[in-house]
A and B are shown apart, each in its own frame.
Chain A
Amino acid sequence: MNIEEIQKEIISDFSVYEDWMDKYTYLIELGNELEPIDAAYKIDENLIRGCQSRVWLQQRLEGSLLFFDAESDALIVKGLVALLLKVFSGRSPQEILDTEPYFIDEIGLRQHLSPTRSNGLMAMVKQIKLYALAYKQIASQKK
């Protein structure tokens, strides 16, 4: 599936939950299911600090695709991290740069990605895009 299809799929997954509580229960479930990041990568250099919760983000390039692993100490944030990884991990730098994660808005969780929220998610998206930009530039220099 391409990024667009993944975003649509997430929106459709969430559309069955009318009650906020079911929505958050599902997010918590996604958080619990997310593979924990390798302890070796849970280091300060990979830490995106929010006042409220912490997010660790690790990246690697395989061929021309950029992969991410991430984790948070808060489960709701971890659930949202899982969704962001579905969208952004395993994509080309250009695809990442071209994508706005509008699904967050559509599933009614926009408040978690607002710049005034200090949960680290907004900073995570920014960091993903910065990595994409950096790899894109490296690739273009090699050409």
Chain B
Amino acid sequence: MGFNYQNIRKDFPILDQQVNLRPWTYLDNAATSQRPIQVIEKIREFSVLTNANIHRGTHTHAIRTTEAYENAREIVKDFLHAKEREEVIFTHGTTESINLVAWSFCEKFLSEGDEIIVTEMEHHANIVPWQMACERHHATLKVIPFSDNGELKSELLTALISDRTRIIAVTHVSNTLGTVNPVKEIIRVAHSHNVPVLIDGAQSVPHISIDVQDLDCDFFVFSGHKIYGPTGIGVLYGKRAWLEAMPPFLGGGEMIERVTFEKTTYNELPYKFEAGTPHYVGAIGLGTAIQYILNLGLDHIASYEHHLLTEASEKMKALGNLQIFGETPSKTGVISFQLDQIHPFDLGTLLDQLGIAVRTGRLCADPVMDHYHVTAMTRASFAFYNTSEEIDRFIEALKRIRSMF
């Protein structure tokens, strides 16, 4: 494959440890990814040498911090292939990004009787903020369903869109099913009805190269910690025209131009949406994480992860009596499954005893659980630092646990 794994593992010292006296096998990457030493070192170096609040000083450290923060914004802009840096807003994460749009966009553009469309496979973070907006504005939430194999029935979109549809929010990649949705086509259809689209990229940015101009999406959101960066930092990309038209989300410092008790005028983009002191150390870490994966090459990452996905899926299916939820041809390294009749909590607990970390539970996707009439799932998710050896360890563990029931 395209890169040297031994060297890559060395970049992630956290992976080199034991859990319950066994080598730690981290297969919970869709929940959060590990940070390479380059990101950790960058944060350390910055924290040791530099600190001052950004945009607010004439002194040396304030200027250095501001430059580093704005440099991170440039890196994100290039990474997403956005047209302008003003279209890149730093937030605390995907959830805050979606809440920002769901509040500010809907405050301006959503009225009683209007409609918002989401999909049945969304993470709760891309359902609840829209539901809250619908309640505030007496609007209706509509849902694009998916088939049992995990494929979005995107052909139903045309029937769901009406002249009351104000926005469509769709996940690029399902956190439960791994399905890569045909977002470009969805955006094309939506735009033919003059409806803007928000893409939840939390699960896609670590695996798929993003070009927001080519996609022509109106909003794109993601989190730093799922792309080998720090927690507490995320991104909202929005087309300038929308961001200009939307009212600010949070009020406070940095987002203002001039404050009097009679009237406050707001700062220009992107600061209008960045009230308060931002998580600049997080933004700088995120910039370094993005540079790290760009150095590895997203194409190399994608093809290696696909290889891991195929290998794991085949070996899991060979065990027999194992159901995989989501089997579309186009999916990322996420395998949600049910083994025999073993409850996911039991399976997760016993896997942990064998040093293997997976996610169990409702995966922040109750509607997906309801679709398959299950109360929980077990999910293994892969990153480029995982190995075939780890997959074998996982398969052996499943066999051993099965024998206990």
A interface residues with partner B (beta carbon < 8 Å): 20-21, 24-25, 28, 51-54, 73-77, 118-119
Contacts and interface: CB of A to CB of B under 8 A. Distances in A.
A76 B345 contact: yes
A52 B344 contact: yes
Interface stretch (B95-103, B301-309, B346-354): B346-354
A73 B338 CA distance: 14
A74 B404 contact: no
Contact of B404 (A24, A53, A77, A118): A24
B343 A73 contact: yes
A77 B345 contact: yes
Nearest to A25: B404
Interface in B373-398: 375-376
Contacts of B342: 75
B261 interface: no
A124 to B, nearest CB: 14
Interface string B302-326: 0000000000000000000000000
B362 interface: yes
A28 B345 contact: no
A75 B405 contact: yes
Interface residues of B, number: 18
A53 B376 contact: yes
A119 B362 CA distance: 12
A24 B343 CA distance: 14
B175 interface: no
Contacts of B362: 51
Contacts of A76: 343, 345-346, 349-350
B20 A75 contact: no
B171 interface: no
Contacts of A54: 375
Given A76-B346, A119-B345, 6 more contacts: A28-B405, A52-B361, A53-B343, A53-B345, A73-B343, A75-B343
Contacts of B20: 20
Nearest to A52: B345
Contacts of A51: 361-362
